[in-house]
Amino acid sequence: MSNDSSGEQPQKRARGITVRVGRREVTKVGAKRYDFTDLQHEAMKLTWPSFFGLVVVFYLVMNALFAVAYMAYPDTIGNARDASFADAYFFSFETMTTMGFGDMRPGTPYGRLVATVEVFTGLLAFTVLAGFIFARLSRPSARVLFSRTMVIGSFNGKPTLFLRAANERNNLILEASAQLAFVRNESTVEGYAYRRFYDLDLVRARSPAFALTWTIMHSIDDKSPLFGLSASDLSDSDASIVATITGLDETMGQSIHARHEYFAANVLYDHRFVDILVETPDSGTILDLSRFHHIERITPEADAAPH
């Protein structure tokens, strides 16, 4: 993030779109809050309760507008009570869903014109709505569990950063790949502040079949951006580590991805993950996910290799 070269100071409470980037809330000034030319993207961003709530509101409002149109002229709806908004509203419901019960009907040419427009509007709206619902239901998603913390211990005599991931579904993630990005604030000699990204090399960045758990490791050698950094150094530079896992869902045959961000407080030195694989007397193996996030403290010289 660079300084504003224009020299103008941003407003403390600028109006705009607030987005969360890591732990920070950034306000985009001049950007559209809602882009109605990109309805599918807007619909995909909503949660399911918000999506259905918006659909219900839209449906009620559209019927109210058509009810007002029916009441604009007398005798528009046959067998309806005079100046009855309730009759006009429920007739609009019947017309938009094309399921008229026969008690009320368009009584004038104007009424038939409005009913025709409403039927077309209803068919178009339900078609678009069905497309949105299908897109939301068919959107691929990953059920990857990330450990709450990262730990730094020793692996084969080298300081190593560890995080643990698990596939919560009872299938495989094929050709799974992992990436770690180290992010921190830095300043140039000219005094400009930047948010810098560094890719962390992994001991094993790919897994042909991710079924159970995966311990992702980064060796902290003299080429690592983490080399020589302490916990206070990470905190002072507002550092974070972004973990991403991508792959192919074996069941759905679709590409999926998962992401998790760790902040300085989530990186613990001289710790290791407890073992969650247990051998049973009958030569079986138990994966105890109830201990997935458990860690234990070690001495810096101890062997911190997890299973």
223 & 282 share domain: yes
Q: Are 140 and 253 in contact (CB under 8 A)?
A: no
Predicted confidence pLDDT, tens digits, the chain (307 residues): 444 444 444 445 456 677 666 566 777 776 666 666 777 888 888 899 999 999 999 999 999 999 999 999 999 999 999 889 999 999 999 999 888 877 899 999 999 999 999 999 999 999 999 999 998 988 888 899 999 999 999 999 899 999 999 999 999 999 999 999 999 998 888 888 888 999 999 999 999 999 999 999 999 999 999 999 999 999 999 999 999 999 999 988 899 999 999 999 999 999 999 999 888 888 778 889 999 999 999 864 444 444 4
Tokens of 78: 């046959």
- Output phi, psi for 118, to 5 deg: -70, -40
237 & 150 share domain: yes
98 & 55 share domain: yes
Instruction: Give the helix/strand (H/E) hosting 144.
Output: strand 144-146
Q: What is the distance between the alpha carbons of residues 307 and 211, in angstroms, rounded to a whole number?
A: 15
Q: Is residue 22 part of a domain?
A: no
How many other CB atoms are there within 10 angstroms of residue 230's CB atom? Answer: 9
Looking up tokens 């005094």, which residue turns up?
191
pLDDT in tens, 248-283: 999 888 999 999 999 999 999 999 999 998 888 887
Q: What is the distance between the alpha carbons of residues 68 and 63, in angstroms, rounded to a whole number?
A: 9
Q: Is residue 193 part of a domain?
A: yes
73 & 104 share domain: yes
Instruction: Give the helix/strand (H/E) hosting 70.
Output: helix 48-70
pLDDT score for 4: 44
Residue 157, domain extent: 144-297
- What is the domain-level CATH number for residue 170? 2.60.40.1400
Domain closes at, from 87, 120, 138 = 138
262 & 172 share domain: yes
- Give me the sign of the Cα torsion angle 244, 247, 250, 256: positive
Output the pTM of the full model: 0.72
Nearest to 135 by CA among 42, 208, 54: 42
134 & 188 share domain: no
How high is the mean pLDDT of the chain? 87
Tally the domains of the chain.
2
- Collapsing DSSP to helix, strand or coil, 284 comes out as coil
Q: What is the distance between the alpha carbons of residues 176 and 162, in angstroms, rounded to a whole number?
A: 17
Domain closes at, from 75, 108, 138 = 138
pLDDT score for 16: 64
pLDDT score for 22: 59
161 & 48 share domain: no
Q: Are 178 and 235 in contact (CB under 8 A)?
A: no
Domain closes at, from 113, 138, 163 = 138
129 & 221 share domain: no
Q: Are 172 and 209 in contact (CB under 8 A)?
A: yes
pLDDT score for 25: 73
219 & 77 share domain: no
How long is the chain?
307
How many other CB atoms are there within 10 angstroms of residue 68's CB atom? Answer: 13
Q: What is the distance between the alpha carbons of residues 180 and 215, in angstroms, rounded to a whole number?
A: 13
- Collapsing DSSP to helix, strand or coil, 53 comes out as helix
Q: What is the distance between the alpha carbons of residues 184 and 110, in angstroms, rounded to a whole number?
A: 66
Q: Is residue 200 part of a domain?
A: yes
Tokens of 170: 């009872």
pLDDT score for 100: 80
pLDDT score for 307: 43
pLDDT score for 23: 65
171 & 276 share domain: yes
